[in-house]
Structure 1
Amino acid sequence: MASRHTRLINQEQIVFGLTVLLFVIFSFMLPNFLASNNILSLLRSVAVLGMLGLGMLVVVLGRGIDLSLVANMAISVAWTVQLVSRGVPLSVALTIGIGFSLVAGLINGLLIAYAEIPPLFATLAMGTFIYGFGRAHLITGTDVVYVPQTIGWILELGQGTFLGIPMPIVVAAATALIAYFFLRYTKPGRFIFAVGDNIAAARIGAIAVRPILALQYGLSGAIAFLAGVITATSVQAMNTRIVDSNLIYDVILVVVLGGVGLSGGKGSVRNVIVGTLLIGVLLNGMTIMDIQYTVQNVVKSLILLVAIVADSVINPRDEQTGQQGDI
């Protein structure tokens, strides 16, 4: 009977119900909440968060975590923008930037897959290295790198519209759709689920586990770069101090909150979307009510704590996961 209830009412459905409830409450409480401009602003404000959540989803499904995600995003895109400002052709700068992001992600994967360093420590160290190396050797002398007007068509990704919908929302939706088809209909996508569900069984089933682990982090790096491009072109700058913000915790929050199991092998793109929408509605409502930023962080922290506790109950860590040191 318990298992039947678990199937009928899961965390994703509860979070979706809370999102709808908050949406209805804010609609009655806040006069401008239902305005079309505010709804588009709400979705646009969480578009990058949702994209980063998709990058985190790919690694969490395989029993990992990527704490270098924000550092990779900030430094790779800031370097790209600075190269363009110095006269490097946009195509070359983009190739260098995404190459840096992919290599950083793949190094994470290699450290975890072949050196068998726990993902928590490997990605934390890599994030610190990326930020320090980037500030010291790639974008020296400034915290904020401004996007020049001469950067061309790429500005449309952050500032343009498609059928009246801001491009950040369109790009986030397209990224979610691609991630969905990749995880559901491709062999590497299904292998990621298999590795996360039971790594020993995956090996017995002739799945190349180590290359799959490396692939996860490479994909995470690529998504981080795209999210960074949207961020930079939206505000025409990339502030590298974003690495010191709470953004990485917000990314983990939307993933866990939506119902993705930190023990691996359980979750979907839909979970990330649901978690992102709840946080978007909540933050938008609190912002309209002029609630202080520090109070908003406290609320998000409490929600993250509750979500992690719920995850530990719904998706308990098994003995193998505990031995690996994964989250």
Structure 2
Amino acid sequence: MQIFGRVSQEQIVFGLAVLLCVGFALTLPGFLTASNLLNLVRSVSILGILGVAMGLVVIGRGIDLSLVAVMAISVAWTLQLVTSGMPLPQAVCLGLLFCLAVGTINGFLIAYVEIPAIFATLAMGTAVYGFGRYFLFSLDVLYMPEAAQRLTWLGQGTLFDIPVPIFLFAAVCIVAYLFLRYTKSGRYLRAVGDNLLAARITGVPARPIIVLQYILSAMIGFIAGLVTAASVASMNTRVANSTYVYDVILVVVLGGIGLSGGRGGIRNVIVGTLLIGVLLNGMTIMDIQYTVQNVIKGVILLTAIVIDTILNPRDEQTAQQGDI
């Protein structure tokens, strides 16, 4: 998205991240240490993985407000199954199948029933949370049992002295980039997001592609959930009712992926994650209250959406679609 001549929103956000780094390095003791920078990237790796999931959906001109709820409930159920005596591989497979089923239902409701994505996924997130708490487990927080301790390496381990979550974030970004750039389904997803009617006319299987993007979102969300649980040896399902999903949207929109669909890529998610990571780390070092941090993030998200609306105005076809 171009803003001033040849300068894109992605470049501006990256420049802001660099300026914040310089400012914090000059004013906050300990910010520019290697350990703090590694902790900075590690702390936002999960947010970045979820940003990739949301980015794929938004590029396809959708939105997934159920992402965090599906992540929390599926991983919590996985931990509950292991606690109940099920072997870890089977429990992980069942948790993943749960995610894929929810993603498929989301995609079906949006592509075939033609419910606007924002309403379908909002309702699905609420339903998944209620279903999980009533039928699958009764506790708010599920702790990692001894039989699942192998998973802790995903969140607490290191590889070449670099935290494993950073490698996982990089791996998810690379796979998603290759999917969008080199696969037919990835090109179809971008085409559907850019212009749904034109994509249909040219023979793109639009409805299956819409279903696919929500399946991918749920699958990547499950990966993020495993890393989350591994990092703190538990899964707090109350995160499903938090503002975390809006942090994910903030990363996507701030990085430069247009809400009107068909624009942006994985690089935008990385840049948005970098800026939010630097900002959150700086505010934490300055001991800014959590509620004040939420106000700051809310203002940034609103500003990013206003900029996105100006740069990517809703055309007639987008308005008729009524998706987001």
TM range (shorter): over 0.9
List per-residue Cα deviations over 1:80-116 (Å, max 9, x = no partner). Answer: 0110111101111011000000110110000000000
Q: Distance in 2 between matches of 1:14 and 1:317?
A: 23
Sort the Cα spacing of 1:60 and 1:33 in 2 relative to 1 into closer, same or farther, 3 A: same
Q: CA-to-partner distance for each residue in 1:138-181, whole Å, 9 max, x for gaps?
A: 112x1000001321432211111111111111101110110010
Residue from 173, 177, 180 that aligns with 1:180:
177
Residue 268, structure 1, aligned to residue 265, structure 2: yes
| Counterpart Cα distance in 1 of 2:180 and 2:2 | 26
Q: What amino acid sits opposite 1:309 in the alignment?
A: V
Q: CA deviation at 1:243?
A: 0.9
Specify the alignment match of 1:121 in structure 2.
119
Secondary structure in 2 matching 1:52? helix
- Tell me by how many angstroms 1:190 deviates: 0.5
**How many pairs were matched up?**
324
Q: Secondary structure at the match of 1:317?
A: coil
Q: Distance in 2 between matches of 1:179 and 1:270?
A: 10
2:235 paired with 1:234: no
Aligned Cα root-mean-square deviation (Å): 1.1
After superposition, residues 128-207 of structure 1 pair within 5 angstroms as: 128-140=126-138, 142-207=139-204
Task: Tell me whether 1:81 sits opposite 2:79 in the alignment.
Answer: yes
Offset, 1:4: 8.0
Q: Does 1:38 align with 2:39?
A: no
Q: Output the amino acid matched with 1:78.
A: A
Partner Cα separation in structure 1 for residue 137 and residue 186 of structure 2:
35
Aligned residue in 2 for 1:25: 23
Q: TM-score scaled to structure 1, two decimals?
A: 0.97
**Could you tell me how far 1:261 is from its partner in structure 2?**
0.3
Structure 1 unaligned residues grouped into runs of 5+: none
Equivalent position of 1:289 in the other structure: 286
Q: Which residue of 2 aligns with 1:111?
A: 109
Q: Partner of 2:86: helix, strand, or coil?
A: coil
**1:326 positional shift:** 1.5
TM-score by length of 2: 0.98
Shift of 1:7: 5.6
- Measured after TM superposition, the shift of residue 204 of structure 1 is 1.0
Match of 2:49 among 33, 48, 51: 51
Contact 2:78-2:92 at 8 Å conserved across structures = yes
SS across alignment from 1:323: helix
The 2-side partners of 1:152 and 1:248 are apart by 27
1:109–1:19: structure 2 CA closer, same or farther, 3 Å change rule? same
1:7 to 1:227, Cα distance in 2 relative to 1, 3 A: farther
CA distance in 2, matches of 1:152, 1:27: 37
- Distance across 2 between alignment mates of 1:46 and 1:58: 18
Paired amino acid for 1:167: V
**What's the offset of the Cα at 1:321?**
1.0
- Counterpart of 1:93 in structure 2: which amino acid? A
Does structure 1 residue 12 correspond to structure 2 residue 10? yes
The whole-number CA distance in structure 1 between the counterparts of 2:132 and 2:187 is: 35
What amino acid sits opposite 1:285 in the alignment? G
Counterpart of 2:314 in structure 1 is 317
1:37 Cα offset (Å): 1.2
Q: Distance in 1 between matches of 2:212 and 2:237?
A: 26
Which ranges in structure 2 are unaligned for 5 or more consecutive residues? none
Partner of residue 225 from structure 1, selected from 216, 222, 225 = 222
Structure 1 52/4 Cα, relative in aligned 2: closer, same or farther at 3 Å? closer
Q: 1:290 to 1:316 in 2, by over 3 A?
A: same
Cα distance per residue 1:54-79 (max 9 Å; x no partner): 00011101110000000000000000
**Contact map agreement 2:3 2:9 (CA 8 A) in 1:** no
CA deviations over 1:10-49 (Å, ceiling 9, x no partner): 1111100000000000001011001111111111110010
- Aligned-partner SS, 1:238: strand
Partner AA of 2:207 in structure 1: R
Partner of 1:305: 302
Q: In 2, distance between residues paired with 1:275 and 1:44?
A: 15
> Residue 6 of structure 1: CA displacement?
4.8
- SS of match in other structure, 1:173: helix
Displacement of 1:5? 6.4
